[in-house]
């Protein structure tokens, strides 16, 4: 708010020494900015700044007061006029000297305060609104009386006039820029603005200095990491002790140790220590070389069962990172063994990093800190039990506070540095262990080589002796061997020929497409090939068992029966359930195969019936040939094949020929009758009937031509002789062209054609698609009543287009919905002939649609008309 009666604390007029000139203000700011640019050392910047501000304000003391995390503070920079006010540099002040609510206003509102002790008034000037945080555009200065305790506080310090401006850093209250004067003094608005600018420049300097400190700390950490890495990854040896000492020094610790777990049960753990860690408790001794190692008798505490259990109960620095930073061991409940160990070594703070490489536990890196003493120089004693705390401070005599037995925790930077160094330790230890393993293997290999060399020498001596004996025996055996070689060669040739013939026979049997099986003279199964077993519905193994001393996998067809059909009427005959073409069962005596076994006659039989394993029957054509040995019939070979498909094809052929003959005979008979009447002159005096006979002959001739063309078309399409000339075409254009072609026929039949095209592109043969559409439209027109409507429409569904031809005709019976797409299949053949149909139109449509990867079908109800559908894939181009 703006005061109605300005207080003498802040004046718009000149100060007693006169208003500072603009040039002096600019010089002050220029010197400060140059100091910030030339030096990033914060103490030097603060020291120069307070001197410049005190010179500018001409006050007795200007200081920079920095807040500590606990709310207390310290005077870190000060400029004092000689013998005017005592120096406060380096002195700490309790947190209660500046209450939390005042510190919060310094932060949120950036509130400046000016105190006039003589008038007992304080002027408060915030730069921001404490509620919203928004900047205040106009000067908002509030005046109120000063608390008596504040007056006595300043009076005890010898101050009559004070100015406080907050210094912020990263949205936190860093400190205060304070001006004290031992006599009453007015502060002009200009001076307040300049001091605020100085405080803002200090905020920039603090930020730059903080960044510099972070950069230096990071560079120091990187240098430490590089030095440790160089020691650990040396080409000659792993200097782990030196690396440990450097790590302890970098972390400003009292000592440390590296425990390396034994890689196997045959080896012992290794322990490297730095500093006085557990000499009495863990038996660590120092060698003459300065390296500290573990004695043989006691075990390291890392191997004690309480160590790992205790670590598992402690919280790591972050999930997934096996790092424990323990600031104060006295605050934890330690197992007795570990408490004795740490107390004996004076360990107060502990940092432990588990060493791992590729998920393998290698050991631990541990560093510790001892208790420390903290010395603080206080401007007054922060003791609430002191009676002087209940009223303003009378004396500001300084005193020193010593705190003993204090724990020193670990910063995040120290933890990250320790983790980085731990990674180097783990990698180096893992590589060293791998090197030791390779070295051990090489030593074992070298020993094996030496032993083998000795063995070779002995073997050479034995070989020389044996060679002499062999040479003597060789002479004796050569003569016998010559004869044996000749005999063996003859046998090998015979065996090879036999095996080759056997293998060839087996390959021929297994590769044959016809079923082949063999019988002995009694009709028992001796072998069967896979094709025969498959046609009969068996596995080869189900019909045969292995010949004695033969491997089933090697001889899968030459097998003797053992367990099937042990009846006297012939084993294979019973398996086949051999039937005559009329379905009656053969007896074994009248079976043609039995006739071959008895007489040796070759039998060629077609139409007999064999039974499948599942009970189904199939017609066969077979040849039975006798097997003769030394003039006797010892068995028979039967070669058969399933002729089911052949019979189906022949039946379809006969049906097709019958239908085609009927379809051709009907128009030919009509043509012949009409031409006969005209030839004999029976209608010479009846020109109208003669003209009608010619028209009938002409119409039937056209029907024959259409029938023959349709038959040729459907045969060419199905045989692939007609190539679909596919191209990118517009569905709407195809539908329009088909309707245009059928418009005349529709008008003649008094049918209304309605088109609902869809704009999309197809990859199709346009002529064939138009042929399909005209066929469907032609059928719809033919079988619709006059003055009815035929619809042609299409719609997109997923990645295909669905064409629809809808009529209002008499419909199609449900049992004809699928068969009408066959050749010469019609709902009413007699009516179709009247309409000029051949019965092949829908079959041609189905062939064309299938060649395009589509599907055609019809939905209909009798009396409600029919809807023909067919689909085509949409073009991706």
Going from the N-terminus, what domains does the chain have, and what CATH number goes with each? 10-214 (3.30.450.40), 240-372+403-414 (3.30.450.340), 512-642 (3.30.450.20), 723-873 (3.30.565.10)
Please provide the DSSP assignment of 568-583 as one string.
TT-HHHHHHT-B-TTS
Low-confidence ranges of the chain (pLDDT < 70): 1-25, 35-38, 137-139, 234-237, 276-298, 375-377, 380-403, 545-571, 652-667, 670, 699-700, 702-703, 705-707, 709-723, 823-839, 877
SS3 state at 53 = helix
Calpha distance 125→105 (Å, rounded)? 11
Instruction: Check: CB of residue 207 under 8 Å from CB of residue 170.
Output: yes
Three-state DSSP at 49 gives helix
Residues whose CB falls within 8 Å of the CB of residue 760, separated by 6 or more in sequence, listed in order: 730, 731, 732, 796, 801, 874, 875
Q: Is 735 left (phi over 0), alpha (psi -120 to 50) or beta?
A: alpha
Q: In this predicted structure, what is the pLDDT of residue 825?
A: 59
Q: Taking the CB of residue 62, how many other CB atoms lie within 10 A of it?
A: 27
Q: What is the DSSP letter of 384?
A: T
Write the CA distances from 69 to 94, 481, 488, integer angstroms.
12, 105, 103
Strand locations in 72-204, DSSP E? Answer: 73-80, 92-93, 112-116, 121-125, 142-145, 161-169, 172-181, 187-188
- pLDDT score at 297: 42
Specify the pLDDT at position 404: 73
Q: Are 173 and 107 in contact (CB under 8 A)?
A: yes
Would you state the pLDDT for residue 281?
Answer: 41
Residue in the block written with tokens 């670590």? 311
Hey, which residues does 367 pair with through a beta bridge? 256, 351
Residue 621's pLDDT is 92
Element (H, E) at 63: strand 61-67
pLDDT at position 552, please? 37
CA distances to 777, 798, 871 from 738, rounded to whole Å, are 8, 25, 17
Alpha-carbon torsion 455, 458, 464, 470, what sign? Answer: negative
CA–CA separation, 364 vs 369, rounded Å? 17
């Amino acid at each position: 708010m703006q005061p109605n009666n300005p207080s003498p604390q802040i004046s718009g007029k000149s100060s007693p020494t006169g208003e500072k000139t603009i040039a002096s203000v600019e010089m002050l700011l220029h010197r400060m900015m140059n100091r910030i640019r030339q030096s990033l050392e914060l103490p030097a910047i603060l020291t120069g700044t307070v001197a410049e501000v005190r010179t500018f304000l001409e006050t007795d003391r200007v200081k920079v007061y920095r807040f500590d995390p606990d709310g207390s503070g310290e005077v870190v920079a000060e400029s004092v006029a000689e013998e005017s006010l005592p120096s406060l540099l380096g002195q700490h002040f309790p947190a209660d000297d500046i209450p939390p609510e005042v510190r919060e206003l310094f932060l949120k509102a950036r509130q400046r305060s000016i105190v006039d002790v003589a008038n007992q008034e304080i002027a408060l000037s915030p730069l921001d609104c404490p509620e919203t945080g928004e900047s205040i555009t106009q000067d908002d200065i509030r005046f109120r009386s000063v608390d008596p305790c504040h007056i006595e506080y300043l009076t005890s310090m010898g101050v009559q006039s004070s100015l406080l401006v907050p210094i912020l850093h990263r949205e936190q209250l860093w400190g205060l820029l304070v001006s004290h004067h031992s006599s009453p003094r007015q502060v002009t608005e200009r001076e307040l603005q300049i001091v605020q600018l100085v405080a803002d420049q200090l905020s920039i300097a603090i930020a730059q200095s903080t960044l510099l400190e972070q950069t230096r700390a990071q560079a120091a950490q990187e240098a430490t990491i590089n030095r440790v890495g160089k020691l650990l990854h040396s080409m000659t040896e792993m200097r782990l002790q030196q690396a440990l000492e450097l790590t302890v020094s970098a972390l400003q610790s009292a000592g440390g140790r590296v425990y390396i777990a034994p890689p196997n049960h045959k080896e012992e753990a290794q322990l490297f220590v730095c500093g006085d860690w557990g000499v009495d408790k863990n038996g660590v001794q120092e060698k003459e070389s300065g390296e500290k190692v573990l004695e043989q008798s006691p075990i390291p505490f890392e191997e004690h069962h309480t160590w790992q259990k205790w670590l598992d109960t402690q919280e790591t620095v972050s999930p997934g990172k096996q790092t424990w930073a323990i600031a104060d061991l006295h605050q934890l409940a330690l197992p007795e063994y570990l408490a004795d160990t740490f107390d004996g070594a004076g360990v107060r703070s502990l940092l432990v990093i588990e060493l791992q490489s590729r998920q393998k536990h290698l050991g631990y890196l541990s560093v510790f800190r001892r208790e420390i003493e903290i010395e603080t120089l206080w401007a007054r004693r922060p003791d609430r039990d002191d009676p002087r705390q209940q009223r303003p401070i009378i004396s500001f005599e300084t005193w020193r506070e010593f705190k003993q037995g204090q724990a020193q925790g670990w910063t995040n930077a120290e933890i990250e540095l320790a983790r980085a160094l731990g990674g180097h330790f783990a990698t180096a230890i893992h590589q060293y262990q791998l090197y030791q393993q390779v070295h051990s293997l090489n030593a074992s290999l070298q020993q094996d080589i030496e032993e083998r060399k000795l063995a070779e020498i002995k073997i050479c001596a034995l070989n020389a002796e044996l060679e002499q004996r062999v040479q003597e025996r060789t002479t004796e055996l050569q003569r016998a061997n010559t004869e044996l070689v000749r005999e063996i060669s003859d046998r090998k040739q015979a065996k090879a020929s036999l095996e080759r013939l056997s293998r060839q026979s087996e390959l021929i049997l297994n590769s044959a497409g016809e079923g082949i099986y063999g019988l002995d003279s009694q009709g028992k199964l001796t072998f069967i090939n896979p094709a025969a077993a498959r046609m009969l519905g068996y596995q080869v193994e189900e019909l045969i068992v292995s010949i004695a001393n033969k491997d089933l996998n090697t001889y899968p067809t030459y097998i003797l029966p053992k367990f099937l059909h042990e009846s006297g009427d012939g084993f294979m005959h019973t398996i086949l359930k051999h039937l005559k073409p009329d379905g009656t069962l053969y007896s074994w005596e009248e079976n043609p195969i039995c006739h071959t076994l008895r007489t040796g006659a070759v039998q060629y039989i077609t139409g007999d019936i064999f039974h499948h394993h599942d009970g189904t029957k199939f017609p066969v054509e077979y040849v039975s040939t006798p097997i003769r040995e030394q003039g006797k019939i010892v068995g028979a070979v039967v070669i058969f094949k399933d002729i089911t498909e052949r019979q189906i094809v022949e039946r379809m052929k006969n049906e097709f020929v019958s239908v085609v003959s009927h379809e051709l005979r009907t128009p030919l008979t009509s043509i012949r009758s009409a031409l006969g009447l005209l030839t004999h002159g029976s209608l010479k005096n009846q020109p109208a009937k003669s003209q009608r006979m010619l028209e009938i002959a002409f119409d039937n001739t056209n029907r024959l031509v259409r029938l023959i063309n349709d038959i040729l078309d459907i045969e060419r399409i199905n045989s692939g002789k007609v190539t679909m000339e596919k191209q990118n075409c517009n569905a709407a254009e195809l539908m329009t062209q088909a309707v245009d072609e059928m418009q005349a026929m529709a008008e003649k039949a008094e049918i209304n054609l309605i088109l609902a095209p869809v704009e999309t592109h197809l990859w199709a043969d346009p002529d064939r698609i138009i042929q399909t559409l005209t066929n469907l439209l032609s059928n719809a027109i033919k079988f619709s009543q006059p003055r009815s409507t035929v619809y042609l429409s299409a719609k997109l569904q997923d990645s295909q287009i669905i064409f629809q031809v809808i009529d209002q005709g008499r419909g199609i019976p449900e049992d004809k919905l699928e068969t009408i797409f066959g050749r010469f299949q019609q709902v009413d053949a007699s009516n179709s002939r009247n309409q000029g149909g051949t019965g092949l139109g829908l079959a041609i449509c189905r062939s064309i649609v299938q060649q395009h990867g589509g599907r055609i079908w019809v939905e209909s109800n009798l009396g409600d008309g029919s809807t023909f559908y067919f689909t085509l894939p949409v073009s991706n181009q």
